[in-house]
């Protein structure tokens, strides 16, 4: 294997595989490393419709379609009793194949992306543990890595893309990790077999249930092989002093009879998984010789099914920037970070929507009764169409903030 590459990508999840495939496709000699011997098992993911363009560009769209992953035509928001407050049909704003989301199993999907990066020309190695980031002055110039049982070696790179997830190897080594402002949330989830799924089009929608308290919610996503991904998202405080996440999950499940009813004849597949809130982000998206993408840049998982999409989107935008920077011979922080403002503008739109949803007492249905003209941009935002000009979405979010302030005033009065 070469000891020098144009681009070294750390992490074999959706962000890392996307960055490696596009860097290699752009003509860069690319190395992709991941510390795990195989793709990590995880919850089912809902790939938002806006991921369609990135998947097509990566060249994996046909394989995904051939895999017959379940598709979602929209998202429904229900109360704990099962009464619907609002539903959004993606086909209303985008007819054709591009309107639907995919329900994928993380391990299967990650393996497809890994194989695709190799097919696009990236050298892919796992298990491969990055031991250190290598500097020349203030600039990152490579990594020291141990591949399988081989002796550690130093590999030079013109650009290092950190897609290592919450580990955030480069920002951590540089002392650039900081707390992100805002609420911290915990996710507890697993897969169930035999859960009740509505027939027809209603069964093809991802469902979000508010619990009785309104301070937490469950997702319910049908998956391949007769499975359903069921997860709880709540403020980190719900864990309190509890040592068993199962107890928290069961308590909140009792506060959401509509989900409980769907699981009456189902059985748990595997153990409950927990994502405790990291709440940390990189103080900057790039520096001389490096870029952070996906969760290495900041937390994504609590954004209404947008985590995998945002990981891939950040990697796509960063990879294009890295290719251009290497061609120009300019791997400065300013050049490698040029992609970030446009990305953060779109990510912030999704974050504002998620933060509004998590407010106690919030209802999409009530909001749309007051602002019916926002249904289309709201649907587009739920599809992931947060990037680009987005004037209508910015107007939506401004009205949403005003509406929330008025609602809080009414509650206090």
User: Which whole number is the average pLDDT over 366-371?
Assistant: 93
Is 372 inside a domain boundary? yes
**131 with 145, same domain?**
yes
**27 with 38, same domain?**
yes
**87 with 110, same domain?**
no
Q: Is the dihedral of CA 113, 163, 314, 47 positive or negative?
A: positive
**123 with 29, same domain?**
yes
**156 with 58, same domain?**
yes
Contact 310, 46 (CB under 8 A): no
Domain boundary residue, one of 341, 370, 388: 341
**337 with 351, same domain?**
no
- Angstrom distance (rounded) from CA 198 to CA 210: 18
% of the chain residues with pLDDT over 90: 57
| pLDDT-derived band at 158, boundaries 50, 70, 90 | very high
User: Of 69 and 310, which is predicted with more confidence?
Assistant: 310
| Token pair for 54 | 């990135």
- Angstrom distance (rounded) from CA 106 to CA 208: 20
Nearest to 166 by CA among 281, 14, 300, 295: 295
User: Which whole number is the average pLDDT over 28-54?
Assistant: 87
Is 68 inside a domain boundary? no
CATH number for the domain that contains residue 30:
3.50.50.60
**138 with 188, same domain?**
no
Domain boundary residue, one of 292, 313, 341: 341
Is 67 inside a domain boundary? no
Q: Exposed/middle/buried for 243, CB within 10 Å: 0-12, 13-18, 19+?
A: exposed
Is 37 inside a domain boundary? yes
Q: What is the pLDDT of residue 412?
A: 47
User: Which whole number is the average pLDDT over 351-368?
Assistant: 84
Domain boundary residue, one of 257, 275, 293: 275
Domain interval for residue 187 = 73-100+183-275
Q: Exposed/middle/buried for 103, CB within 10 Å: 0-12, 13-18, 19+?
A: buried
Number of domains in the chain: 3
Full DSSP string of 169-199 = HHHHHTT-EEEPSS--EEEEEEEEES----S
**56 with 142, same domain?**
yes
User: Which whole number is the average pLDDT over 369-374?
Assistant: 94
**365 with 266, same domain?**
no
């Amino acid at each position: 294997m070469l000891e020098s590459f144009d681009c070294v990508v750390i992490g074999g999840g959706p962000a890392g595989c996307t960055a490696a495939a596009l860097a290699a496709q752009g003509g860069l000699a690319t190395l992709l490393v991941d510390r795990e011997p195989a793709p990590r098992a995880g919850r089912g993911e809902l790939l938002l419709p806006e991921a369609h363009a990135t998947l097509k560009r990566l060249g994996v769209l046909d394989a995904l379609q051939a895999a017959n992953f379940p598709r979602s035509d929209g998202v429904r928001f229900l109360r704990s009793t099962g009464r619907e407050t609002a539903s959004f049909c993606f086909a209303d704003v985008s007819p054709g194949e591009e309107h639907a989301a995919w329900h994928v199993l993380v391990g299967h999907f990650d393996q497809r992306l890994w194989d695709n990066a190799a097919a696009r020309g990236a050298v892919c190695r796992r298990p491969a543990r990055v031991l250190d980031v290598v500097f020349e002055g203030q600039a990152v110039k490579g990594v020291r890595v141990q591949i399988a049982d081989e002796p550690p070696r130093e590999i030079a790179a013109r650009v290092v893309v950190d897609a290592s997830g919450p580990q955030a190897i480069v920002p951590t080594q540089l002392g650039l990790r900081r707390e992100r402002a805002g609420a911290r949330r915990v996710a507890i989830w697993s897969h169930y077999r035999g859960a009740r799924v509505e027939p027809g089009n209603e069964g093809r929608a991802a469902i979000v249930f508010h619990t009785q308290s309104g301070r937490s919610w469950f997702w319910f996503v049908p998956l391949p092989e007769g499975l359903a991904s069921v997860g709880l998202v709540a403020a980190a405080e719900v864990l309190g002093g509890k040592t068993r996440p199962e107890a928290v999950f069961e308590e909140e499940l009792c506060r959401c009879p509509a989900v409980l009813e769907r699981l009456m004849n189902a059985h748990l597949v595997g153990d409950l998984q927990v994502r405790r809130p990291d709440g940390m982000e990189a103080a900057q998206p790039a520096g001389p010789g490096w870029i952070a993408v996906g969760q290495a840049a900041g937390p994504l998982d609590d954004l209404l099914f947008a985590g995998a999409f945002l990981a891939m989107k950040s990697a796509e935008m960063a990879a294009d920037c890295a290719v251009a920077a290497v061609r120009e011979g300019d791997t400065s922080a300013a050049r490698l970070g040029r992609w970030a403002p446009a990305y953060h503008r779109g990510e912030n739109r999704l974050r504002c929507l998620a933060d509004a949803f998590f407010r106690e007492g919030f209802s999409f249905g009530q909001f749309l009764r007051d602002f019916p003209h926002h249904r289309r941009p709201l649907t587009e935002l739920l599809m992931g169409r947060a990037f680009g000009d987005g004037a209508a979405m910015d107007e939506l979010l401004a009205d949403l903030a005003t509406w929330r302030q008025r609602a809080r005033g009414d509650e206090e009065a």
